Structures are given as C-alpha cells and as structure tokens.
Chain A
Amino acid sequence: MEIFLQEGLVLLKAALWAVALSLVMALVAGFLTYLERKVAGHMQARLGPNRVGPYGLLQFVADGVKLFLKEDLIPSDADAPLFRFGPYLVFVGSFAVFAVLPFGERIVATDLNIGLFYVLAITSIETVGLLMAGWASNNKWALLGAMRSAAQSISYEIPVGVSFLIPIVLAGSMSLQGIIHAQAGGFGLLGWNVFHNPFSLAAFFVGCTAMVAEINRTPFDLPEAESELVAGYNTEYSGMRFAFFFLAEYANIFVISMIAAAIFLGGWQLPSPFKDILPFGLVGSFVLLAKAAVLVFIVLWLRWTLPRVRVDQLMEVCWKYLTPMALVCLMGTAVWMWAFPGRIFFGLFGTA
C-alpha cells in the first residue's frame, strides 16, 4: 500500500511538473516571438507590435488564436503520416529539454545525473523531425531546406558537445545542478566557469557561437534563407503544425540561453547573504533568468547586426575553426586543472 502511495505521489508530482513546464514553454516561446518583433522594430526605428494589449504585449496570444483558426493543409503529394509526424517530433524534442533545465536551486523537474548529455541527445532527435518534415512535404524547397538544416545542426553539434565538456571537467559532473553547485564562491561572480581560466572563457564564446548555429538562428539561418529557399522545411506547413516549428525555434533560443547561463555564467549562484531572502532560493532563480534574458537579447540582437553567412563559410566555421578551438579549450582546461589544481584564474594572484 505504502509503495503504491509513494509511486502515486511520484506520478502526481511529475504530472504537475509536466503541466507547469508546458505552460512555461508556451509562454516563453510566445513572449519571445513578441520580443523579437519588438526588438526588431526598435532597432529599425519602428515601434513594433503595439496594438494588442498594453505595449502590444498580448500580440502573441492573438497570433496563437490566429494559427488555431488557419486551415490545416496536407498537400496531396505529401507523405501524410510522416508529414504529421515530423512537427510532433520537433515539438516533443524541444519540450523534453525543459525537463532538465534548472530554474533555481531547488526548482528543477528532474535533475538527471547525465543532464548535459541528455540535452545534446534530445537536440539530435529534433534534427530527425526536421528531416522527416522536409522530406514528407514533397517540395523542393522543403527538402533542400531540411537537408541543409540537418547538415548544419549535426555539424555544429560537435563543437557544442566539446564546449559542454569544459564545465563538466571543472565540476566533475554532468548534472546541470551539479555544475552550478561547482561554481560557488568568488562573491557569486568570480566562481563562474567563464572566469575559471582563459580556456573556459574562450570555450564560452565558442560554445555560444556553436549553439546559435545549431538552432539555425541568424547569422546562421541558411535553412530558412527566404531569398533562396522560400521558408525551408516548413514551406508546406500551415496552422498548428507550422506553429510547432515556430514554438520549437523560439523555445530553443530560451533553452540555449538558460544552458549557457547555467553552465558558464554561474546559474543561480549568489553571494551567501542574498541567498535566503526569499524562500526556495527564488532570488537565485531571478538572477538566473536575468542572465538568460540578457543572452536571449543578444541572440535577437545578432539577427539585426550580422548578415547571413554563405553555406561554404558555414561549414568552414564549424569544422576548421570552432571544432579545433573547442578541442584546444578542452585540453587547455585539463592542463590548467593539472597545473593549478583547485584554483581559478583570479585566485592565482591572491588568496581568494
């Protein structure tokens, strides 16, 4: 009996988490679509959306309702089951990453001991979803867009994976919470992995560049290069299925920002006097979300600053620059840990 009660509790808690996370994902992705248009507007001396709700804040709700009211088209030559399956895979994949995102010191759905590795694996599932969608559409643009997108995502997964290794080496753990715990000290700032040593600083930039490319964002948005490929893999999609790709894309921006903030920028670490002002370490949660928000803004900013790269440059950047650089950072960090065991860069000069 007791066993059943225990298992029931586990199930209930998991179900609650799942509902909460789906709300978070929908809100975050929706809000990001609004934010992107607002940021774009202001960068081009426009106002951006400002009609629905205060400051146009409810624009994404209106967009969502509109997508529900659209006709759900499946082209007659498309492979219908696969055409339906592709968006699901992308949606479920991008949602699944939320399960291991740490939202605070005690706020995480499931802190897998292989957290970062899991993130990497789930991302590659999304790639398969894109491929299926592009192929099933039976459209030249969609097929080419999907192939390009997949080729790009998988190539950049290598530097992303290698740069993930640096926080893992420093923490001796793959769990996201474990990595954040390892960044304690230094007034909640110098303990960050990014300040640990010169190599980890470089790895932060390598990793962030590679992650932006992996989720196909500008300046690496070749799969959706509208001047060449119409809209890439989602050319034939409409209504909710189209919305799934969009949701996943914006959710991914949030996910990479959260992960970068957690594994390189100290996560929810705070100087100890501030830690217990609010219950559940909520101050830390706000700090983490603020760091992620800054990174999200940078990702949006990039779009209006950098021109799109060419496809040959894209592959060159990945294989000839980012991958070797990430490997050098990894070995450099390993050497650092051997040469100065347990010391951070700023700790070399004093006794901190």
Chain B
Amino acid sequence: MQAVFFWLFSALAVGCALGVVFKKNPVVSAVFLMGSMLALACLFLLLDAHFIAVIQVLVYAGAVMVLFSFIIMILNLPQEELPPLALGGTRAWGVAFGAVALLFLAGKFFPTKEGFMPTSRGFGDVRSIAVPLFREYALAFELTSLVLLVGIVGAVLLAKRKV
C-alpha cells in the first residue's frame, strides 16, 4: 500500500511542478506550486516524518504561498505589460543543469533493492528532531534567529523606504 501511495504522490508532485512552469497565469502557477508542496508533505507523512510534513504545509504551502500570492496580487500586472523574457541560452543551461541533477539523484537513490526500509520506533517524532537541535546544533539554532532578524530588518527597510 505504501508503494501505491508513494507513486501517487510523487506523480502529483512532479505533475504540479510541471504545471508551475508551463502555466502562463502567475496565480495558477502559484496554486500548482501549492499542490506540489502538499504532495511533498504527503510523501513526508508516508515516511513517518510527521513534524517535517506539517512544517512543509505550514511554512511552504501556507506562509510562503500567501506571500507569493500577495506579491502577485499587489503587482497585478496585466499580461501585455510584461516584457518578453529573453530566454535563448538560459533555457539550454537550465535543461543541462536539470539533467545533471537528475542523473546525480537517480544514481544516488534509485538502485535500492530493499524497497522501503522499516523505521525505528520514535523515528520522525518531534523529540528525535528537538533533542539534537537543542543539544548538538544549539549554535546553528541561535544563528537562525540572527538570520531571521536580518530578514525582518530587510523587509522593513524595503517596504518602508521613502521614495
């Protein structure tokens, strides 16, 4: 049953990701992005990583999506005002990098014969994330707050700049 769900959600995630790229309307793209995020969250759920799954929904499908939609709706650019993108070489580079990344990932993850590995008890629990976070990685945790501080200062500066 796990395998069925896995392929279902992977297909959904990839399909929605394609939708993000190929849809012309930015709001529709954003909705597809959310679909992709939700499918990813479901994949995390299948891995018993409940906490990560909910973070995926809360931060990406929720918060970041609202931010994206807000930006699209604030600008509200009509289609004809957008300058045509000068793609050309960029597209080729993109395809090349994508192919390399795909090959790398495929080589890394596909040849697993065991299928799904059973997880140990308590895996994906909040505690199994929290304890290392506040013990071994305490410094990284503190630095995160610094990064977020910089983010807030940047946001305020950008939005409150007197033009």
Indicate yes or no for A touching B, C-beta below 8 A: yes
Binding site for B on A (CB under 8 A): 7, 79, 81-82, 85, 112-114, 117-118, 120-125, 127-128, 131-132, 135-136, 143, 147, 150-151, 154, 174
Find chain B residues with CB under 8 A from A114 CB.
Answer: 50-51, 54, 126
Q: A82-B31, A174-B126 are in contact. Are A121 and B62 (CB under 8 A)?
A: yes
Find chain A residues with CB under 8 A from B58 CB.
Answer: 117, 120-121, 124
Find chain A residues with CB under 8 A from B28 CB.
Answer: 79, 81-82
Chain A, residue nearest B38 (CB) = A125
Find chain A residues with CB under 8 A from B57 CB.
Answer: 121-122, 124-125
Q: A121-B54, A135-B27, A143-B73 are in contact. Are A113 and B63 (CB under 8 A)?
A: no
A147 to B70, CA, bound (A): 8
A113 to B51, CA, bound (A): 9
Find chain B residues with CB under 8 A from A128 CB.
Answer: 34, 61-62, 65-66, 69
Find chain A residues with CB under 8 A from B69 CB.
Answer: 128, 131-132, 135, 150
A132 to B26, CA, bound (A): 12
Binding site for A on B (CB under 8 A): 1, 25, 27-28, 31, 34, 50-51, 54-55, 57-58, 61-63, 65-66, 69-70, 73, 125-126
B1 adjacent to A7 (CB under 8 Å): yes
Q: A82-B31, A154-B66 are in contact. Are A131 and B73 (CB under 8 A)?
A: yes
Interface of A is mostly: helix
A128 to B62, CA, bound (A): 7
A137 to B63, CA, bound (A): 22
Q: A128-B34, A147-B73 are in contact. Are A117 and B51 (CB under 8 A)?
A: yes
Find chain A residues with CB under 8 A from B55 CB.
Answer: 121
A124 adjacent to B63 (CB under 8 Å): yes
Q: A79-B25, A114-B51 are in contact. Are A150 and B70 (CB under 8 A)?
A: yes
Find chain A residues with CB under 8 A from B34 CB.
Answer: 128
A112 adjacent to B50 (CB under 8 Å): yes
What would 6 A/B residue contacts be, using CB atoms closer than 8 Å?
A117-B51, A124-B57, A128-B62, A131-B70, A135-B73, A143-B73
